[in-house]
Amino acid sequence: MSTTSLDAARPRGAVRPPRTRHAAVAMTLTAALAGGTLVAGAQSAVADEATTTSDESTATETATPEPTATETATPEPTPTEEPVVVSTTPDVSMSKSRHTGRKGQGHTRPKYTVSATTADGEAFAGRVRLYVKGTKVAVKQLDADGTIHFRPGLGKYDVGRNGVRAVVAPAAATGLDQVTKNRTVRIKPKARTNLYVSMSRKQATKGKSHTRPKYTAKVRKWGEPVTGWVRLIVAGDKVAVKKTNSNGVVRFRPGLGKYDVGGNRIRVVAVPVRGEGLKKTTRHRNVRVAPKVTRGDKVVRVANSYVGHRYSYGGTSPATGFDCSGFTSYVYKKATGKTLPRSSSAQASMGKRVSRSNAKKGDLVYSPGHIGIYAGNGRIIEAARPGVGVVKRTIWQSNPQFIRI
């Protein structure tokens, strides 16, 4: 019953050690004690016991139950999460309204728009500096939406190519880097006003309206008409202002009363409207105005043209020669269309007598038996006598009469 109990308690699959082996060990020990071979026998017994123990251990290991499926399954390794990399460079864009501008035309100023956000599209605090040709011209804070606008005056640019640089500097708390954007703008020189002035004549005579000069002003820019005003200034006095027509043309013809006798400096000033972006332009001309020609001036001029002609008694024309009254009657007829009596005394009696101090050119100078034409400045033009003819000389009479016809 003891054996049955042990067998029942032994694990299934275990190897039962042979009983004869234990008996042999006991007998060997007994013989060794009796015969003096204890040591050798003990060693042999120990060796056999070790062998037996090894066999039992092997059998026990062989009989170890297999692990369950739960124990056999090896858990999958947990994947390692990649570190999140946050960009410190903001997204910055810079646009410009135009590529070129022109000096003097404010509406051609380029406008710059700078937009700056984080990589996630969020606006951030910071400021933007604008440089034109390396010179800082403006500094502004970014708006709430991350944008800012610049439109510097044309005085900040040079004529020609200009490098424009916008530097976005985020606030220190944002942890973002500074970003620079570059653009190029070309500025053209100020358009020049071309003013062309022509005039119909350079000389005029007081009292002769048909001799008034006429001025024509044409205002152009790059060959195109310019809208504006044109001023006419004569001898320092502004005499007229007119607006250009659709062709950029203005015409003037002021009266002779606006001129002085002698040389007159004429100024024509073109003043374009503000939208043209042009400065006013001036041109100069010169006009000489002769004094008004009186009837006496005409008489003296005609008389002078016959100085040198021969004297002839009863002569009344250049062809036949002149005597004194024939000469005066011929000159007056030609200069004024007025017919004088034939004799000197009759001529003296038809006009108005004036004093010598009030005498004017063209008056008759009469002395009994002789008559001539007053030339001014104490001189007389007359048909003197045979061998002398028509001469111009100082009045020789001691007390002549001056007759105004």
Taking only the tens place, the pLDDT of each residue in 2-55 is 444 444 444 454 445 555 445 454 454 444 444 444 434 444 444 455 444 444
The backbone region for 233, taken as left when phi is positive above 0, alpha when psi lies in -120 to 50, beta otherwise, is beta
Give 37 or 131, the one with higher predicted confidence.
131
Q: What is the tens place of the pLDDT at every residue in 134-162?
A: 999 999 999 999 999 999 999 999 999 99
pLDDT at 67 over 70: no
Residue spans per domain, the chain: 18-57, 91-188, 194-290, 295-404
pLDDT at 343 over 90: yes
Q: For residue 234, report the phi and psi dihedrals to the nearest 5 degrees.
A: -115, 120
pLDDT at 395 over 90: yes
> Average pLDDT for residues 177-183, to the nearest whole number?
95
> Average pLDDT for residues 269-279, to the nearest whole number?
86
Selecting from 3.40.50.300, 2.60.40.10, 3.40.50.20, 3.40.920.10, what CATH number does the domain 91-188 have?
Answer: 2.60.40.10
In angstroms, the Cα distances linking 15 to 10, 11, 325 are: 9, 9, 190
Q: Which residues pair with 266 in a beta bridge?
A: 234, 285
* CATH superfamily ID and name for 194-290: Immunoglobulins (2.60.40.10)
For the ranges 70-74, 76-80, 122-126, 280-284, the lowest mean pLDDT is seen at: 70-74
Asked if the domains at 194-290 and 295-404 fall in one CATH topology, the answer is: no
pLDDT at 99 over 60: yes
> Average pLDDT for residues 112-117, to the nearest whole number?
95
Q: How far apart are CA 13 and CA 102, in angstroms?
A: 107
Which H, E and C letters describe the chain, residue by residue?
A: CHHHHHHHHCCCCCCCCCHHHHHHHHHHHHHHHHHCCHHHHHHHHHHHHHHHHHHHHHHHHHCCCCCCHHHHCCCCCCCCCCCCCCCCCCEEEEEECCCEEECCCHHHCCCEEEEEECCCCCCCCEEEEEEECCEEEEEEECCCCCEEEECCCHHHCCCEEEEEEEEEEECHHHCCCCEEEEEEEEEECCCCCEEEEEECCCEEECCCHHHCCCEEEEEEECCEECCEEEEEEECCEEEEEEECCCCCEEEECCCHHHCCCEEEEEEEEEEECHHHCCCCEEEEEEEEEECCCCHHHHHHHHHHCCCCCCECCCCEECCCEECHHHHHHHHHHHHHCCCCCCCHHHHHHHCEEECHHHCCCCCEEEECCEEEEEEECCEEEEECCCCCCEEEEECCCCCCEEEEC
Q: How far apart are CA 292 and CA 392, in angstroms?
A: 23
Structure confidence at residue 83 (pLDDT):
64
Mean pLDDT in the chain? 84
Residue whose tokens read 């009363």: 257
For the ranges 8-22, 226-240, 266-280, the lowest mean pLDDT is seen at: 8-22
Q: Tell me the percentage of the chain whose pLDDT exceeds 90.
A: 70
Amino acid, res. 163: G
As given in the structure block, the two tokens for residue 312 are 């002839």
Structure confidence at residue 17 (pLDDT):
52
Selecting from 3.40.50.12160, 3.90.1150.10, 3.90.1720.10, 2.120.10.30, what CATH number does the domain 295-404 have?
Answer: 3.90.1720.10
pLDDT at 68 over 80: no
Structure confidence at residue 347 (pLDDT):
95
- Going 133 to 164 to 109 to 272, the CA torsion angle's sign is positive
Q: What is the tens place of the pLDDT at every residue in 161-173?
A: 999 999 999 999 9
**Burial class of 45 by CB neighbour count within 10 A (0 to 12, 13 to 18, 19+):** middle
> Average pLDDT for residues 375-404, to the nearest whole number?
95
pLDDT at 302 over 50: yes
pLDDT at 63 over 70: no
> Average pLDDT for residues 66-86, to the nearest whole number?
58
Structure confidence at residue 96 (pLDDT):
95
275 — pLDDT class (breaks 50, 70, 90):
confident
